[in-house]
């Protein structure tokens, strides 16, 4: 299939997010009056090392996890929107003549892509979108190109199809994340307009920090720090196996000194990494301040993390919840949804593709 990032798909579908730690599925439906409704969602942990750095080391293990997650989701819907890891995609903004016909634009995009992509074009999936007129000349237009190695797309398609699902859209994680987070920053003072909003996404192994201004990314940085660090700290202190540590992290039951001796230092280290990322942002761009920090990803659910990050950075810090303005179906446990919200950001962005204009 093509890398259908920019093609509108007004089809019933649900979001399928495969991260390095779990499979997440989320189905949104029309809630009326311009609002969405969370119909159902499910999260299923992946075996360790099944997915590492966006690479599927064990397709079989991922397929089995997707099947379990789909069964738990309990929908009849088979169409899915998926995403490839941001780090596996090359994006480039180019400027071309505004008068090009569609077929000429495709030829021009392929020619430009050839210059920027370090692989043969027959080895990649390529997509593009016209952004609009160029700021420098009305006779030119800006076009965003996105390309990824075919195997990145093919692996995800194979997983979905082996689990009996039908992939309709293949997005980019950062694009899906941004779609969901738009719902969050619109609720910020002034709707986030003309403000620098830092999105801190803490995954299992990597922390991605991006700063958006008026919905455009002005800075991105990846740091090797994530939730696995906390798991490792638990293993080291309490002599648990990796599986025991993961289970204890999720369901509790850790010794009394866990919060003071393990969790608090982890949160302090995480906030230090955030502060460091912001310093890099200030020194490498024209900006000297950030107005808001949005926390997402699995570790964002840790109680009190937003306060620790705020204390360290002195920036207003919010745990991202794109579902705050949505309706929920009676089968959804609201308290659990709020707790799971930060780890469902990408799944939410993918599920929103259902409402793209036809």
Domain count, the chain: 2
Residue 80 placed within a domain: no
Q: Judge contact between 148 and 90, C-beta under 8 A.
A: yes
Is 22 within 8 Å of 43 (Cβ atoms)? Answer: yes
Q: What is the CATH number of the domain that holds 300?
A: 3.30.420.40
Q: Does one domain contain both 209 and 317?
A: yes
Please check whether residue 107 lies inside any domain of the structure.
Answer: yes
Residue 214 lies inside a defined structural domain of this protein:
yes
**The residue count for the chain:** 358
In a structure prediction context, what are the per-residue pLDDT tens digits for the chain, which is 358 residues long? 455 655 555 679 999 999 988 999 999 999 888 899 999 999 999 998 888 878 888 999 999 999 999 999 999 999 999 999 888 888 888 888 888 888 888 888 888 888 888 888 888 888 888 888 888 888 888 888 888 888 899 999 999 999 999 999 999 998 899 899 989 988 888 888 999 999 999 988 889 999 999 888 889 888 889 999 999 999 999 999 888 888 888 777 889 999 999 999 999 999 999 999 999 999 999 999 999 999 999 889 898 999 999 999 999 999 999 999 999 999 999 999 998 999 999 999 999 999 887 5
Residue 5: its pLDDT value, please?
Answer: 54
Q: Can you give the CATH number for the domain in which 97 is found? A: 3.30.1490.300
Q: Is the residue at 30 inside a domain?
A: no
Range of the domain at 301: 189-323
End-to-end Cα, the chain, rounded Å? 19
Q: Are strands 292-296 and 196-202 parallel, antiparallel or unpaired?
A: parallel
CA distance 60 to 216: 38
Query: Is there a single domain that holds both residue 230 and residue 303?
Result: yes
Give pTM, 2 decimals.
0.86
SS (H, E, C) 276-343: HHHHHHHHHCCCCCCCEEEEECHHHHCCCHHHHHHHHHCCEEEECCCCCCCEECCCCCHHHHHHHHHH
For residues 2 and 127, is the Cβ–Cβ distance under 8 A? yes
* 195 and 307 together in one domain: yes
Helix, strand, coil % in the chain, rounded to nearest 5: 40, 30, 30
How far CA 118 is from CA of 87, 95, 122, 171, in Å, comes to 14, 20, 12, 21
Asked which of 150, 172, 204 is the last residue of a domain, the reply is: 150
Q: What is the pLDDT of residue 155?
A: 93
209 and 144 in a common domain: no
User: Are both 139 and 230 inside the same structural domain?
Assistant: no
51 inside domain? no
| Same domain membership, residue 316 and residue 241 | yes
My answer on whether 270 and 220 are in the same domain is yes
DSSP letter assigned to residue 194 = T
Q: Which helix (H) or strand (E) is 40 found in, with range?
A: strand 35-45
Domain contains 265: yes
């Amino acid at each position: 299939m093509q890398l259908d990032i920019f093609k509108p798909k007004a089809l019933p579908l649900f979001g399928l997010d495969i991260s390095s730690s779990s499979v997440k599925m989320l189905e949104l439906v029309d809630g009326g009056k311009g609002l969405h409704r969370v119909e159902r969602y499910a999260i299923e942990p992946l075996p360790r090392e099944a997915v590492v750095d966006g690479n599927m080391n064990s397709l079989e293990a991922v397929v089995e996890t997707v099947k379990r997650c789909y069964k738990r989701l309990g929908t009849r819907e088979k169409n899915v929107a998926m995403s490839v890891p941001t780090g596996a995609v090359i994006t480039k903004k180019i400027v071309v003549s505004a008068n090009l016909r569609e077929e000429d634009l495709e030829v021009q995009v392929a020619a430009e892509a050839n210059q920027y992509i370090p692989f043969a074009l027959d080895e990649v999936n390529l997509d593009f979108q016209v952004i609009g007129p160029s700021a420098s000349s009305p006779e030119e237009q800006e076009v965003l190109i996105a390309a990824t190695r075919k195997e990145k797309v093919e692996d995800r398609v194979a997983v979905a199809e082996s689990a009996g699902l039908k992939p309709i859209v293949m997005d980019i994680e950062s694009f899906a994340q941004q779609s969901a987070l738009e719902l969050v920053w619109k609720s910020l003072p002034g709707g986030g307009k003309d403000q620098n909003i830092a999105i801190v996404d803490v995954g299992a192994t990597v922390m991605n920090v991006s700063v958006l201004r008026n919905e455009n990314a002005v800075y991105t940085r990846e740091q090797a720090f994530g939730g696995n660090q906390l798991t490792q700290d638990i293993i080291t202190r309490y002599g648990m196996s990796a599986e025991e540590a993961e289970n204890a992290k999720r369901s509790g039951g850790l010794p009394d000194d866990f919060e003071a001796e393990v969790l608090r230092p982890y949160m302090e280290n995480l906030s230090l990494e955030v502060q460091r990322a912001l310093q890099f942002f200030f020194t490498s761009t024209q900006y000297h301040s950030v107005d808001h920090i949005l926390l997402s990803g699995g570790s964002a659910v840790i109680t009190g993390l937003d306060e620790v990050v705020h204390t360290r950075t002195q920036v207003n810090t919010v745990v991202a919840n794109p579902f705050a303005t949505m309706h929920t179906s009676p089968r959804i446990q609201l308290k659990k949804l709020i707790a799971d919200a930060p780890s469902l950001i990408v799944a939410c962005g993918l599920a929103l593709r259902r409402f793209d204009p036809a």
